[in-house]
Amino acid sequence: MAISPPFPPYPPHPGGAPEDGVLRHAHWWQHRWVRYGALITLLTLSGLVILALVREQTGTEGFLVGLGLAVLPVPLLVAAFRWLDRVEPGPWRNLVFAFAWGACAAALIAIIANSFATRWIATATADPSSADTLGATVIAPIVEESAKAAAVLLVFLFRRRDFTGIVDGVVIAGVTATGFAFTENILYLGTAFGTDQLTGDTGIASVTAATFFVRVIMSPFAHPLFTVLTGIGFGVAALSGDRQHLRRVLVPLCGLLLAMGMHALWNGSSSFGEFGFFAVYAAFMVPAFGLLTWLVVWTRQRELRTVREELPAYTAAGWLTPAEPFALGSMRARRLAREYAGRHLGKPAAREVARYEAYATSLAFLRHRGRRGRAGADFLVRERELLNELWRRKDVARPALDHAARMTAPPVRVTAPPWPVYGVYGYGQGPAHAQGHTAGFGNPTAPVYGSPPVYGSPPVYGSPPVYGSPPGQPSYGYGHGYGYGYPAAHGPGNGPGTRYPSGPYPAPHPHQ
């Protein structure tokens, strides 16, 4: 019968035990429900105020038309950012907060600050046209990008476990900007509709059609593109060590300044002549969009590679099966595992497999940061939490991932020697997935997903003692000196191995 593995006690409180032996209670404002309540109240009030302002400026009919047209690109943009976040999906509440902040709080700040600044400049210079130009090219980029960056900063500070890299920064920033653009499009499209009602223009020649083409068809990614630069800066800061204070401050600030600069260039394109808008769009916006798309897709693939490279260390200690690192490092295998569990055990099992995949990915990223010396003080506690979550779901997830690994593993060509051999080929003494031999040694009829060329680099992960040894028992013959903090699994005579921050991985109890 499977039982939970033993875990060491949590580390003592940094300040030691309280003198009177009684835990001190947190202040009322430190409770989670108080913070959540305050945040929800703030966003709700901001939404009501922004709703009233936009409706007053556009009218009820214009507001409804603007709302119907502005909502069209939102599902596509959110789905694109969710696709980027599929490797280590963050909780929905972070995305809901980001969208609500952009659509309500950031939009309200932008409307009030931009109107006040433009009015003040017009009064001071007695030149309303110059004030409008200065407000659009200087004031608006600074105010709007700062307001949107506040959402990324809040998630970075208060949801730090969910903010681990560049992709997380891109997703939070992009969803925030999507919400902001949604509200702004309602305002612009509703105002354009009101103008058409006064002039009587309809169809393609109307101001509403032109505004819809520019803001929804040509440049729905404009605001997300600007704010993503800020998100990349915070993502780089998340990858930095705790002692790299200057880098953790300067990189997000540089990303914010770049976002402001590109936003200012985009807003000022209309003043560059008759074809200034199209020149800026073709020369800057499209290449920047392509470059950032390539960067985030490349980062996504690098995250999958990190999963394949880091999880075999836990396989060596008995926490994972040999098939899991490969399956968890492939998005297709992950999908097949969820479908397999849902088909045989129902939708709850599919959700458990999805959670298992998310926890395993977080574990791989945690170990990756630990190997680079960038793990926080709670590394051991967080590692045990993730291992515990995996262990609780292993009975449902392992068969599904094993099936997915078999379905997605590339074929391995096994050639017979030129001389007659009876029984198995080559030097294998058992199934290839148990021995871990490379280049086709072992039983040619064994499942190909277990061979080291599929799971990882043989010089690091592919030696038989890693895959073939029972948890906690020494192995002889092919051990190497890397160790992964579990030297007993690599045979005698190899030295202590490289100790990572988590120390020796405790092997789980026997399954029987």
Q: How is 105-159 classified by DSSP, letter by letter?
A: IIHHHHHHHHHHHHHHHHHHHS-HHHHHHHIIIIIHHHHHHHHHHHHHHHHHHH-
Residue type, 265: L
User: Residues 494, 500, 502, 504: what is their CA dihedral angle, to the nearest 10 degrees?
Assistant: 0
Distance (Å, whole) CA 409 – CA 427: 23
Higher pLDDT, 448 or 218: 218
pLDDT the model gives residue 454: 35
User: Residues 255, 256, 260, 261: what is their CA dihedral angle, to the nearest 10 degrees?
Assistant: -30
**Is residue 301 classed as helix, strand or coil in its secondary structure?**
helix
Query: Does residue 277 carry a pLDDT above 90?
Result: no
Instruction: Convert the pLDDT of each residue in 99-154 to its tens digit.
Output: 999 999 999 999 999 989 888 888 887 777 778 888 888 999 999 999 999 999 99
Angle formed by the axes of helices 222-239 and 166-199, nearest 10°: 160
**CA dihedral (174, 302, 359, 162) positive or negative:** negative
Higher pLDDT, 362 or 3: 362
Instruction: Convert the pLDDT of each residue in 175-228 to its tens digit.
Output: 999 999 999 999 999 999 988 888 877 777 789 999 999 899 988 999 999 999
Exposed / middle / buried, residue 134 (Cβ in 10 Å: 0-12, 13-18, 19+)? middle
Average pLDDT of every residue of the chain: 77
Exposed / middle / buried, residue 6 (Cβ in 10 Å: 0-12, 13-18, 19+)? exposed
Closest CA to 367 of 425, 432, 314, 302: 314
Distance (Å, whole) CA 461 – CA 453: 10
pLDDT the model gives residue 256: 96
SS (H, E, C) 183-248: HHHHHHHHHHHHHHHHHCCCHHHCHHHHHHHHHHHHCCCHHHHHHHHHHHHHHHHHHCCCCCHHHH
pLDDT the model gives residue 50: 92
Tokens 């709670």, residue located: 378
Closest CA to 196 of 181, 185, 212: 212
**Region 347-376: what's the mean pLDDT?**
89
**Is residue 350 classed as helix, strand or coil in its secondary structure?**
helix
Angle formed by the axes of helices 347-371 and 379-408, nearest 10°: 120
Closest CA to 394 of 484, 320, 490, 472: 320
Closest CA to 259 of 384, 334, 174: 174
Contacts of 391 (CB under 8 A, 6+ apart): 4, 5, 319, 508
Instruction: Convert the pLDDT of each residue in 395-447 to its tens digit.
Output: 999 999 999 999 988 776 666 667 665 654 444 444 444 334 333 333 333 33
Q: Among 17-26, 225-234, 436-445, which range has the highest average pLDDT?
A: 225-234
Query: Does residue 455 carry a pLDDT above 70?
Result: no
Higher pLDDT, 247 or 485: 247
User: Residues 400, 406, 409, 415: what is their CA dihedral angle, to the nearest 10 degrees?
Assistant: 160
Instruction: Convert the pLDDT of each residue in 462-496 to its tens digit.
Output: 332 333 333 343 333 333 333 333 333 333 333 33
Q: What is the pTM of this model?
A: 0.73
Distance (Å, whole) CA 160 – CA 34: 19
pLDDT classification of 89: cutoffs 50, 70, 90: confident
* Residue percentage of the chain with pLDDT more than 70: 74
Longest dimension (CA), the chain: 98
**CA dihedral (162, 166, 167, 172) positive or negative:** positive
pLDDT the model gives residue 99: 96
Query: Does residue 16 carry a pLDDT above 60?
Result: no
Tokens of 490: 């690599």
Q: Among 6-10, 98-102, 238-242, 415-419, which range has the highest average pLDDT?
A: 98-102
**Region 14-26: what's the mean pLDDT?**
43
Instruction: Convert the pLDDT of each residue in 54-85 to its tens digit.
Output: 999 888 899 999 999 999 999 999 999 999 88
Tokens of 215: 């803001």
pLDDT the model gives residue 74: 95
